[in-house]
Amino acid sequence: MICRLFDYFPVAKSLWNKFSYICVGYLNIQKLNFITYTKMGKTLELNDSNFEETIKGDKPVLVDFWAEWCGPCKMIGPVVEELAGDYEGKAVVAKLNVDENPEVAGKYGIRSIPTLLVFKGGEIVDKQVGAVPKSVLAQKLAAQVA
């Protein structure tokens, strides 16, 4: 597949050289196919053994409780990845697979997924159940970073 984005937006080529991107979809604008890209994040994969030490750090921690079979989890996954890139160095953005790590999911009463918990100093300070836009999650995380 040929990326036509560079043909129409020369600035995009220079941005490509500065950041890592992944293709997330197509936009059909004026009968031209443009490929859209998003910056790759750095989510931390949590499990039953490293969860407690991670949430007790000095930075706020956003944890996405998800499962492989969950449709809404797959929808919100790229958003969580973007947030990891946006808040790199300011907060920790992590994911925990509830099927592989039932101990933590049970301890925090995770009954519906996706569930996103925001921790600060080891305590839950915010909670979101269900898929929501990036702006909602960014607002919750920004409130704890400030």
pLDDT of 42 reads 86
Q: Are residues 35 and 49 in the same domain?
A: no
Q: If you search the block for the tokens 């979101």, which residue do you land on?
A: 128
Q: Are residues 85 and 105 in the same domain?
A: yes
Domain coverage including residue 131: 44-145
* Overall pTM > 0.75: no
Q: Are residues 31 and 62 in the same domain?
A: no
Which residue among the candidates 70, 80, 93, 113 is catalytic per the annotation?
Answer: 70
Which residue among the candidates 55, 73, 79, 83 is catalytic per the annotation?
Answer: 73
Q: Are residues 34 and 50 in the same domain?
A: no
Q: Are residues 84 and 136 in the same domain?
A: yes
Report the mean per-residue pLDDT for the chain: 79
Q: Are residues 52 and 85 in the same domain?
A: yes
Q: Are residues 84 and 58 in the same domain?
A: yes
Written as six digits, the tokens of 67 are 């499962």
CATH number reported for the structural domain that contains residue 97 in this entry? 3.40.30.10
Q: Are residues 18 and 84 in the same domain?
A: no
Report CA-CA distances (Å) from 121 to 55, 60, 106, 128: 7, 7, 20, 18
CA dist., res. 68 & res. 14, Å (int): 35
Each residue's pLDDT tens digit, 10-64: 444 444 433 333 333 333 333 333 333 334 458 999 999 999 999 999 999 999 9
Q: Are residues 110 and 84 in the same domain?
A: yes
Domain count of the chain? 2
Catalytic-residue membership of 23 = no
Each residue's pLDDT tens digit, 50-79: 999 999 999 999 999 999 999 999 999 999
Report CA-CA distances (Å) from 65 to 92, 136, 140: 14, 17, 16
Catalytic-residue membership of 70 = yes
Q: Are residues 88 and 21 in the same domain?
A: no
